[in-house]
Amino acid sequence: MNTRTLRAPLAVAVAAIAVGALAGCSAGGGTGSTDAASGTYTWWDPYPQHEEGSDWANRVQACGTEAGVTIERTAYDTTSLTNQALLSAQEGTSPDIILLDNPAVSTLAETGMLTTTDELGLDTSGIDENLLAAGELDGESYGIPIGANTLALYYNADILTEAGVDPASITDWASLTDALAKVSATGHKGITFAGINTEEGSFQFLPWFWGAGADLTELDSPEAVEALQLWTDWVDKGYAPQSVIGNSQNTSWEEFITGDFAFSENGTWQVNSAADQSFATGVIELPAIDGGVAPAPTGGEFIIAPVQQDTARYETTKKIVDCMTTPEGFVETANTFAYYIPPTAEGQEQLLAENADLSTWVSAVQAAKGRTSDNLGTDYPLISEQLWTAVQSALSGAQSPADALADAQAAAAAETGK
């Protein structure tokens, strides 16, 4: 029997979300069959759009069959899944396997409710370290990314041609700003992005923040100020519209596909939409301040295994996880979820053999960074909220970038105690 005890933060987390979670979700999971080598294993994921009988659901079941068991799959939306996972741990009904949005892995890990990859006997040696880091806390790894999406810069090739801009010439912030000036001079709009006061706003700002050399533990550094000044200058000069303050990633994309904008910061999930437009599109990596590729944040889920009282179940759980994380399995996931990029070199090579046009996205993922990396863990959401608040304040003109970020750092330090 596993004698691990759940750490105190679990009770606090569950108390905070219990009412809403129970109102919106039915109970699920359980410890399954008493026979660890057969019977039923429980699986939760955040893909309710993939119903039973879909390719995804059939693939999950196929991995169960390969392991000699039946999988009972339950799908929740992303937020409900995290809440339900915390509740199930408190109640002793955790599922055997969860696919969880990568920033939430550290939230569950901090409570003590997850097995480590070492405890489960999983081989993570082939996983790209920058992607694996999103599931690490205090030197331990708590799962395997099933793939990753991230951000890059889509462009309208017709507008750039008219403005005399070669996309290959955009290698740093100065050359990008110069391109925006040339586009504006032709009467077109420059760039659109999501600066909304939610996690999406932080997600879209982080490539510029990290690309300047800034660190999330020091929101008011000179590098951070330089990044926010870049966005603020773009809005002030009319290179980016005022609407970015309220833009989500979806509304920002809707602006781009009107055909009026030269650039849009957006993700792998728009690959098919970009190809369907009446104008020619392309994509380049987001540039760092002085050249090179800026680290963009990673999206995507980790496959994780909650602690079970019956540790004999882990052997079969490992078989299921191994089935889902072969090179071929990673490519299948990539194709199922709008071009999730595999987290291994072998998987990436196989994906590019099928679709060479994704090479820019593979490079972007190779340079990407997890939001909870640098051992931020559960401090990240507190820091992120202060970051998007500072972005809002600067873009609206309420504060200078320096003042907005100084206030953000003070508030983050008060929240995290660091």
Give the homologous superfamily in CATH for domain 9-145+299-367: Periplasmic binding protein-like II (3.40.190.10)
* Average pLDDT, 10 consecutive residues per value, the chain (418 residues): 46 35 33 63 95 94 96 93 95 97 94 96 96 94 96 98 98 98 98 97 98 98 98 98 97 98 97 96 98 96 96 96 94 86 96 94 96 92 97 98 98 94
d(CA 358, CA 340): 10
Instruction: Name the 3-class secondary structure at 353.
Output: helix
pLDDT of the residue at 368: 97
Q: What is the pLDDT of residue 240?
A: 98
What lies within 8 Å, CB to CB, of 228 at 6+ separation is 205, 208, 209, 390, 391, 394, 401, 404, 405
Whether 9-145+299-367 and 151-297+375-416 share one fold: the answer is yes
Rounded to a whole number of angstroms, the CA Rg of the chain reads 22
Q: Is 79 exposed, middle or buried (0-12, 13-18, 19+ CB in 10 A)?
A: middle
Residue with structure tokens 């660190």? 215
What pLDDT, on the 0 to 100 scale, is given for residue 17? 34
Provide the phi-psi class of 416: left if phi over 0, else alpha when psi is between -120 and 50, else beta: alpha
**Residues pairing with 141 in the sheet:** 136
Count Cβ atoms within 10 A of the Cβ of residue 175 and give its class: 0-12 exposed, 13-18 middle, 19 or more buried. middle
Name the pTM for this structure.
Answer: 0.89
The CATH architecture annotation of domain 151-297+375-416 reads 3-Layer(aba) Sandwich (3.40)
Instruction: Tell me the domain boundaries of the chain.
Output: 9-145+299-367, 151-297+375-416
In terms of Cβ atoms closer than 10 Å to its own Cβ (0-12, 13-18, 19+), residue 18 is middle
pLDDT reported for residue 37: 65
User: Using CA atoms, how far apart are residues 411 and 171, in angstroms rounded to an integer?
Assistant: 34
Give the pLDDT of residue 9.
45
Confidence at residue 418, expressed as pLDDT on a 0 to 100 scale: 83
At residue 78, the pLDDT reads 86
d(CA 295, CA 297): 7
